[in-house]
Chains A and B, each alone.
Chain A
Amino acid sequence: ETGVTQTPRHLVMGMTNKKSLKCEQHLGHNAMYWYKQSAKKPLELMFVYSLEERVENNSVPSRFSPECPNSSHLFLHLHTLQPEDSALYLCASSQDEDRAGTEAFFGQGTRLTVV
């Protein structure tokens, strides 16, 4: 149990579907993140929310739409995805302060396959 829960764990969707990924953190953190992990590539930072405000949108296509309704919940809304979007999507949270003990905690990820 990492304190960060992602659902669903696996998702297969067609290119015309709309789906959402959900992330919930139980750690009282003030920052949440979406990362994409593709085979043989580094973890790619997609979005950063700090105090429920989106502070980074890392050149992510508009077919990915994040939502952070409160400090404990983060969503990633997906629509008209492409097969190359198939990857592991990881949510993380941290306490955004400059000290030790502010490491990011990751959820187990959603394995997304676009067909």
Chain B
Amino acid sequence: GQNIDQPTEMTATEGAIVQINCTYQTSGFNGLFWYQQHAGEAPTFLSYNVLDGLEEKGRFSSFLSRSKGYSYLLLKELQMKDSASYLCAVRDLSGGYNKLIFGAGTRLAVHP
């Protein structure tokens, strides 16, 4: 089966850096995604990792270690608009087709 764990809530200060961790267990790992979801809105894509290492995209970076079943999302220069839920999702290929399995999400509150 699949299991994805991430912290439920985090708080941070405007301008600071925050790291959101995600650990996963899956039999058919085929990539890891991070999504952002503001309250009442659809999830929107942030980043994708399939190989080990760091992917950087502006203020957002995502890291993957496949051997450890571990990823993190790093947000720099936090802004108030970054207050949202951040969803870690694993693409699983067991069964012969891709499906995206989500963690419960980390609710981030950014304070002035």
The residues of A with any CB-CB pair to B shorter than 8 Å are 2, 4, 31, 33, 35, 40-43, 45, 48, 50, 55-56, 90, 92, 94, 96, 98, 100, 102-109
Interface size grouping (class) on chain B:
20 to 34
Binary flags per residue of B14-45, CB closer than 8 Å to A gives 1, else 0:
00000000000000001101000000011111
B98 an interface residue at 8 Å Cβ cutoff?
yes
Contacts A98-B30, A100-B48, A103-B48 given; indicate if A45 touches B99 (C-beta within 8 A): yes
Interface centre among A50, A104, A105, by most chain B C-beta atoms within 10 angstroms, is A104
Nearest CB in chain A: distance from B21 CB, A? 16
The residues of B with any CB-CB pair to A shorter than 8 Å are 4, 30-31, 33, 41-45, 48, 50, 87, 89, 93, 95-105
Q: Give the A-B pair count, Cβ closer than 8 A.
A: 63
Contact A2 B42 (CB under 8 A): yes
Contact B50 A43 (CB under 8 A): no
Contact B97 A42 (CB under 8 A): no
Contacts A105-B45, A106-B43 given; indicate if A96 touches B98 (C-beta within 8 A): yes
Residues of B within 8 A of A4 (CB): 42
Residues of A within 8 A of B95 (CB): 55-56
Contact B44 A106 (CB under 8 A): yes
Contact B42 A108 (CB under 8 A): yes
Nearest CB in chain B: distance from A57 CB, A? 12
Interface CB pairs A-B, < 8 A, 14:
A2-B44, A31-B97, A33-B100, A40-B104, A41-B104, A42-B105, A43-B43, A45-B99, A45-B100, A48-B97, A55-B96, A94-B100, A96-B98, A106-B43
* Contact among B30, B42, B98 for A106, CB-based, below 8 A: B42
Residues of A within 8 A of B87 (CB): 43
Contact B30 A96 (CB under 8 A): no
Contacts A43-B87, A103-B45 given; indicate if A56 touches B97 (C-beta within 8 A): yes
Kindly report which residue of chain B lies nearest to residue A96, judged by CB atoms.
Answer: B98
Contact A104 B45 (CB under 8 A): yes
Contact A103 B42 (CB under 8 A): no
